[in-house]
Structure 1
Amino acid sequence: MGDHRGPCGARRNRPSRLWGRAMVAAARRRTGRTLEAMEVAYLHGGLRLAGYACIAELHRLGLVRAMSGTLVAVSTSTSLPDRAPKLLIAVRNGLKQPHSWQTLRHDAHVLRAGAALGTRLIRRDWMLSAARQRRLRLLAIPGLLVAGWYLIQVVILAMDFTATTPSDTLTRNQAKATGAALCERPGGR
């Protein structure tokens, strides 16, 4: 599975795209509704990718246009679709003045909407909270120690089986000769 070029010539990773599709399908089976594009983006890259998804949606709706590295809101009188996500509304309101995404993502309303999106994903069990992440890391430490201990034991055991010295070889040959001599019967047969 290699990379291929997307519609704009950008490289896209096929496993990542398949993972996104699997997440959307799992959401549909689990909750009866699909994840929104910005939710999937938030799961893959946090507020940064979710913001890019919002800007792409605003561009698709014709509300935002890019000019020389800054984003300019073209139309603020056009309304957003019904039940628009809070992050989309916050990004659109932040773009009333020309901003780049780097400055817009530090806006208080955008940060608040991004935190609400993350909380909603945690509540719906799509993400782990910081406390659960810390707990999983702490629970992994004993397992790693046990695995390391057994790995050391396997290496020591392998070294014991492969280590032969010339004196070991002589002793084995002497034992074979002695055993053969004891097994011989007098009389030649």
Structure 2
Amino acid sequence: MSTVSRPVKAVLNPADTLDCRGSQWSNNVYFQIITDERLIGKPGVPILVRRFRPSTVEVSGLQEVLVDPNATNQMASLAESVSAISGIPPERIAFTEVGSSWEKWPYALSRLAMLDGSVKFYLHPSYAPNEVIERIGGRVIYYRDIAEVPKELSIEDRKQIQIKENGQNMTAAARRKERPLRIQMSSISEP
């Protein structure tokens, strides 16, 4: 049985009643209809990736790539899959390390932190070549082209990016402030 930390690609059998779930009958089962023809029938486990472009200081939307779990080198399989969607040669693709399992969706990294180098990109991340699927799990991994020249930002540009990033984070987490309930008792004198 797969868990949230290890998503798997499955094909739904229309005759299956899902009775084999046993005690986990109340857990959610998520399905996605795959319409991209190049992904249908291809073996692999989906990994979510985002591209960081240092020349424009932009981050792409989420993309799904497939990593072959039976490959002799899952890291090479990941690089090949990313290369297929981005057009970057596999030897020029650098990846971030996987973040903490305590991080929550959308796993967004700061564009300024990636540009300044406080978020590191590695040609060969620290995990073993065949632990890619296990280590990444359902988390998002960022990649970039190491040959791309970073943009030089002015102080004003940095402030604008920081304001925009903080504004996005605030709207996602904004909620109404709770206030204590005030009960006022008035003295009513009886005649």
Q: Which has the higher strand share?
A: 2
The TM-score bracket by the shorter chain reads: under 0.3
Q: Which has the higher helix share?
A: 1
More relative contact order in 1 or in 2 (CA 8 Å, sep 6+)?
A: 2
TM-score (norm 1): 0.23
